[in-house]
């Protein structure tokens, strides 16, 4: 088996798990219209980077769950870095993350998309550890832990004290304020958002988020790094949901409001958006796939923080599904009936 041939640094600490929740950066797979390169249009920043290299020789990946292990893998296989420090606070999570990376790289080798030598090199430059002090001298820290602002406050406070003053921090959050986390770090001028999409290994686009405090050179380095690891950057300010989720989530809520008003059926809403807009799946199918609880969690958080924003509301049919425990694909029922990954007939 290929994975057994890899140069594994598990002795340095082990592997890690997906105990971290990736919000709903979702899974429309290879045909996703979200992977189309987008030109940056912002009068205050250049549309292309003006630097030759990010200068990120040694980076840290904090959190190796669903999103974090993918970010770590993409960084390792890019060949850009001399060392990747893969950090988890608990050994079981570290072990699980290591396992996921090994299995994913194994598949790439089996499919001929990565050579055995390159796979060995990628794992050889990755150090798995539960010791946060190992992040002390990295050039960039990419954080991908659970969407809990209190947890992130503690994390960034610690990282701000441990890491060298030059280290740049980047959060993979999809729903929390970059500016708020930047303040926790004690270095708001050296803080960015880098929002990857699931699955990280396949999805090309990365939202790079700047705040009013972000140093222009730090922003340039972040944009360049995204390019260096083979992704396409789109630039956004620190607005709720950034670009994709700010458009996507209100669209899902509007689709559900059509159900509330009995204006259209689940089937017809999804068919209309697939054939009328070229979407790979309809919005209610997508909401079920994401998880209705996740949709509810995201919008509820936005409503609490931005009570005057009319785009943020909970449709009655979503509330009813949540109260009934019908969360979509994961529970077998939502707007559709589900058998595992197979979608059945509409419920409504």
CA distance 342 to 335: 13
Residue 232 domain-assigned (yes or no): yes
Residue 97 has pLDDT above 60, yes or no: yes
Instruction: Read off the pLDDT of each residue in 78-82 and give the average, rounded to a whole number.
Output: 96
Helix (H, G, I), strand (E, B) or coil at 132: helix
**111: which residues sit within 8 A by CB, 6+ positions away?**
none
pLDDT of 3 reads 40
CA distance 228 to 161: 28
Question: At 100, which CATH number?
Answer: 3.40.50.720
Instruction: Match 């299995």 to its residue by tokens.
Output: 103
**32-46, 76-90, 237-251, 259-273: segment of lowest average pLDDT:** 32-46
pLDDT of 50 reads 79
pLDDT of 203 reads 95
**Three-class SS of 68-111:** HHHHHHHHHHHCCCCEEEEECCCHHHHHHHHHHHHHHHHHHHHC
Residues 141 and 277 in one domain: no
Residue 45 has pLDDT above 50, yes or no: no
Q: Which amino acids are annotated catalytic?
A: 174, 195, 207, 245
Question: At 283, which CATH number?
Answer: 1.10.1040.10
Q: In the chain, how many domains are there?
A: 2
Taking the model in full, what pTM does it have? 0.81
Higher pLDDT, 28 or 63: 63
Q: 11: pLDDT confidence band, cut at 50, 70 and 90?
A: very low
Residues 233 and 248 in one domain: no
Containing structural domain, residue 224? 58-237
CA distance 83 to 146: 24
Question: In the numeric block, which tokens belong to residue 342?
Answer: 């197979």
Q: What is the pLDDT of residues 260-283, one digit of tens each?
A: 999 999 999 999 999 999 999 999
Residues 189 and 255 in one domain: no
Binding residues for CoA, as ranges, are 104, 111, 174
Instruction: Read off the pLDDT of each residue in 188-196 and give the average, rounded to a whole number.
Output: 98
Residues 188 and 109 in one domain: yes
pLDDT of 181 reads 97
Strands of the 140-143 sheet, one edge to the other: 126-129, 83-87, 58-62, 140-143, 168-171, 191-195, 205-210, 232-237
Instruction: Match 């740049």 to its residue by tokens.
Output: 168
CA distance 110 to 2: 8
Mean pLDDT of the chain: 88
Residue 34 has pLDDT above 70, yes or no: no
pLDDT of 19 reads 27
CA distance 148 to 169: 17
Q: What are phi and psi of 181, to 5 degrees?
A: -70, -35
CA distance 94 to 15: 3
Q: Which one-letter DSSP state was computed for residue 202?
A: T
Residues 115 and 262 in one domain: no
| Preceding omega of 83 cis (within 30 degrees of 0) | no
Residues 292 and 215 in one domain: no
Residue 20 has pLDDT above 80, yes or no: no
Residue 268 domain-assigned (yes or no): yes
Residue 13 domain-assigned (yes or no): no
pLDDT of 40 reads 40
Residues 159 and 254 in one domain: no
Q: Please state whether beta strands 140-143 and 58-62 pair in parallel, antiparallel, or not at all (unpaired).
A: parallel
Q: Do 229 and 206 form a contact (C-beta atoms < 8 A)?
A: no
Q: 48: pLDDT confidence band, cut at 50, 70 and 90?
A: low
Q: Do 291 and 328 form a contact (C-beta atoms < 8 A)?
A: yes
**8-17, 168-177, 267-276: segment of lowest average pLDDT:** 8-17
Residue 39 has pLDDT above 70, yes or no: no
Per DSSP, the chain holds a count of helices (H) and strands (E) of 11, 10
Residues 222 and 251 in one domain: no
Binding residues, as ranges, are 104, 111, 174
CA distance 214 to 36: 26
pLDDT of 47 reads 42
Single residue among 189, 219, 237 that ends a domain in this structure: 237
Residue 85 has pLDDT above 60, yes or no: yes
Residues 232 and 248 in one domain: no
């Amino acid at each position: 088996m290929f994975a057994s041939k890899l140069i594994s640094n598990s002795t340095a600490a082990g592997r890690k798990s997906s105990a971290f929740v990736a919000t709903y950066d979702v899974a429309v797979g290879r045909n996703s219209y979200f992977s189309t390169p987008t030109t940056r249009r912002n009068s205050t920043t250049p549309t292309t980077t003006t630097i030759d290299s990010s200068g990120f020789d040694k980076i840290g990946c904090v959190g190796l769950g669903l999103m974090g292990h993918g970010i770590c893998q993409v960084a390792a296989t890019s060949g850009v870095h001399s060392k990747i420090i893969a950090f988890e606070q608990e050994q079981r999570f570290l072990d699980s993350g290591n396992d996921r990376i090994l299995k994913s790289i194994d598949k790439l080798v089996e499919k001929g998309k990565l050579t055995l030598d390159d796979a060995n090199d990628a794992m050889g430059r990755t150090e798995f550890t539960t010791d946060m002090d190992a992040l002390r001298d990295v050039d960039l820290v990419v954080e991908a832990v659970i969407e809990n602002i209190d947890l992130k406050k503690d994390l960034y406070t610690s990282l701000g004290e441990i890491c060298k003053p030059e280290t740049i921090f980047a959060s993979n959050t999809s729903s929390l304020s970059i500016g708020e986390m930047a303040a926790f770090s004690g270095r708001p001028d050296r803080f960015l958002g880098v929002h990857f999409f699931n699955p990280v290994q396949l999805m090309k686009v990365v939202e790079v988020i700047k705040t009013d405090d972000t140093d222009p050179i730090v922003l340039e380095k972040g944009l360049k790094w995204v390019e260096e690891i083979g992704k396409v950057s789109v630039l956004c300010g620190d607005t709720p949901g950034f670009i994709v989720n700010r458009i996507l989530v209100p669209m899902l809520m509007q689709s559900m409001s059509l159900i509330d008003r009995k204006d259209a059926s689940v089937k017809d809403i999804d068919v209309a958006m697939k054939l009328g807009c070229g979407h790979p799946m309809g919005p209610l199918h997508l909401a079920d796939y994401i998880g209705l609880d996740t949709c509810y969690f995201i919008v509820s958080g936005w409503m609490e923080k931005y009570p005057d924003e009319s785009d943020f509301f909970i449709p009655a049919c979503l509330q009813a599904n949540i109260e009934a425990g019908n969360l979509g694909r994961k529970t077998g029922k939502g707007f559709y009936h589900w058998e595992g990954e197979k979608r059945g007939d509409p419920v409504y």
